[in-house]
Structure 1
Amino acid sequence: MIGITPPFFLLGPTLGPTELILILVIVIIFFGVGRLPEVFGGLGRGIREFRKAAKDEGEEEDSETTDVAPAVEGAEPAVTSEANPPEKA
C-alpha cells in the first residue's frame, strides 16, 4: 500500500486511501459539495504561499551570509599577542 508521507500533510507517518476517504467525507459533511472547490483552492493557495515564504526566507539567509564574508576577510585579528599564563597561588 502506498501512503502519503508526513511532509505533505503533517498528520502522521502515512495516510492510506482509507484515511484520505475519511477526511474527504468529513470535509464534505462540514462544507458541502458546492464549496469543495473553494475550500481546496484556498488550501492550495495557502500551501503555495507557505512554500514561497519558506523559499524566500532561505534565500535571504544565504545572501546575508555571503555579504559578511568579504568583511571578515579584511578584519584584523582581535588577539595580537598571547596572554600570560595564570600565576599559582
Structure 2
Amino acid sequence: MPEFGSAAKALSHAPEIVIFTGAGISAESGIPTYNDPLTGIWAPYDPRTMETAKAFREILRWYGDGTCGRANRSLKQLPMMHISR
C-alpha cells in the first residue's frame, strides 16, 4: 500500500511526532472507557462523590493494575523502529 510507505517516510524524517489515541486503546487491557454507557468508568458514580482528591484517588487506583494491550505495546515499539522519537 503506497500510502503507508509515504506516511512512514514522512514520519521517519519528522523531527518530532505526537500520537493521540482515544480511551478505547486500553479497553482490551480491562481498563474501561470513559463514555461507554454500560462499562464507562464514570457510569456507576454520582459526580458529586468525586469532589475531593481522596475520592478521586480511591476510585482511580485500579489504573495501576492495568496491563499493556497490543496497541500500547505497538506504540512503545515505534521509537525502536525509528518511526517516532
TM class by smaller structure: under 0.3
TM-score by length of structure 1 reads 0.25
TM-score by length of structure 2 reads 0.26
Larger radius of gyration: 1
